Structure 1
Amino acid sequence: MNVTAVIPTINEEGTIGTVIDGLKQAVNGIEIIVVDTNSTDRTKEIAAARGAIVINESRKGYGRAYKTGLEHATGDLIVCMDGDNTYPTDIVRPLLDIIQMDAVDFISCDRMTLRTQHNYTSLHYIGNSVLNFTMRLLFKINLNDSQSGMWIFYREFYRKMGNLSYGMSFSEDIKIDAVRLGKLIEVPIKYGIRISKPKLKTWNDGFRNLFHLFIKRIQD
């Protein structure tokens, strides 16, 4: 099957080249789409030089960037991950094998199981745990890492999903729909140490994601 990787970026010049090179080594012939959201550094130039398709998305929103990239994806299987080199590219090939051999629709990578204080702080662990608990309470969905940003899924499966958030809560939305519409499994990964400036605003985005879960449950 053909594979497309979709990577949202903003000011990732120090890492995007490594991510693209890693994906190319992992999957021969992979299509790589970088959706850049107003970077002011050389992210776009580096990505293009490495052979990625670069799409400019001036509208704000984590989910917006992914939706834009996924609209242009041509692969049967989709790999989604950040451009900051915190998610491992060398696990992509095994994950692609798993999703096909085990007849699942969606793989979400779990950062919590193998976490350390160096790559995943106690504050983020507590916040993620609260969101995991809330998802379990409201939707009866039990995940170790409801906020993970690395996923593997079929493009046709994604097309069945609707009403996904344009913001950071896209990450929890897509997992809720994946459980509702098919079979999701989590695979533990070793999360890397971030070297670029974090884009996540821990408190603001955490409360927004929590509030979004309640709104989504009411709308359902």
Structure 2
Amino acid sequence: MAASRVDLVLPCLDEEQALPWVLGRLPTGVRAIVVDNGCTDRSAEIARELGLLVVTEPRRGFGAAAHAGLEAADAPLVAFCDADASLDPAELPRLVELLEQGGADLVLGRRRPTIRTAWPLHARLANRVLAARMSRRTGIRLHDLGPLRVARTADLLALGLRDRRSGYSLEMVLRAAAAGWSIREVDVAYAPRMGRSKVTGTLRGTVTAVADMSRIFTEVSR
């Protein structure tokens, strides 16, 4: 990949334990955009000390952070990845290659747990139900929401994504499918996260995410 070909958005809320590892795994040609979503630790300082672009998004919510990063991106391609070390940015080139070869407009990383405890049972079951609903709605066989993903920056901005909570990633898939995009999955490793989980690692977080996504299914027309 050529230099500055991909901007990688890393929504970040207190990930100082994991962030150095994640940033150390960036492939050549990928610029990290760290979005400070209300960090109370040194996450943002760590990123700035490394000379990285840090965007501050005071509105709490994954969608708010992810979209702030998207709006700050200026590379032709934009990717998204959790900043908790559960996903490896070094796997991005395989997703980017599929996109650049014309095989897809949106590439999702299908999580494959490295160990059983990497993906809690309640979260895995919720994802299975979500994937089935996505498949029925889009007409595309999908197995995972794909927190590691890549698309063309201009096209993604043109989708006009509106959710700023846990439904952002789902809205992206549904609106992309409605726009006629080709959506593909690529297997990626999924490891236990570092630090405290805020969403799917807890039952309460999973319930909140499911509620947000149920709302998105209603709001986004076929």
State the TM-score, normalized to the length of structure 1.
0.89
Q: Describe the superposition over 1:146-176 as per-residue Cα deviations: whole angstroms up to 9, x where unpaired.
A: 2x21111111221220243111100111111
In the alignment, is the contact (CA less than 8 A) between 1:3 and 1:75 conserved in 2? yes
Aligned to 1:204: 208
1:208 partner SS:
helix
In the alignment, is the contact (CA less than 8 A) between 2:11 and 2:65 conserved in 1? yes
Aligned to 2:176: 178
1:186 partner SS:
strand
Cα displacement (A) at 1:121: 2.0
Cα displacement (A) at 1:115: 6.3
Alignment of 1:1-220 (within 5 A): 2-23=5-26, 26-28=27-29, 30-111=30-111, 113=112, 116-146=115-145, 148-181=146-179, 182-200=181-199, 201-217=205-221
1:54 partner SS:
strand
Query: CA 1:130–1:43 in 2, change beyond 3 Å: closer, same or farther?
Result: same
In the alignment, is the contact (CA less than 8 A) between 2:161 and 2:172 conserved in 1? no
Query: CA 1:192–1:68 in 2, change beyond 3 Å: closer, same or farther?
Result: same
In the alignment, is the contact (CA less than 8 A) between 2:76 and 2:152 conserved in 1? yes
Gaps of 5+ in 1: none
Which amino acid in the other structure matches residue 28 of structure 2? V
> What RMSD, in angstroms, separates the aligned Cα atoms of the two structures?
1.8
Query: CA 1:125–1:20 in 2, change beyond 3 Å: closer, same or farther?
Result: same
Cα displacement (A) at 1:193: 0.8
Q: Percent of aligned pairs with the same residue?
A: 23
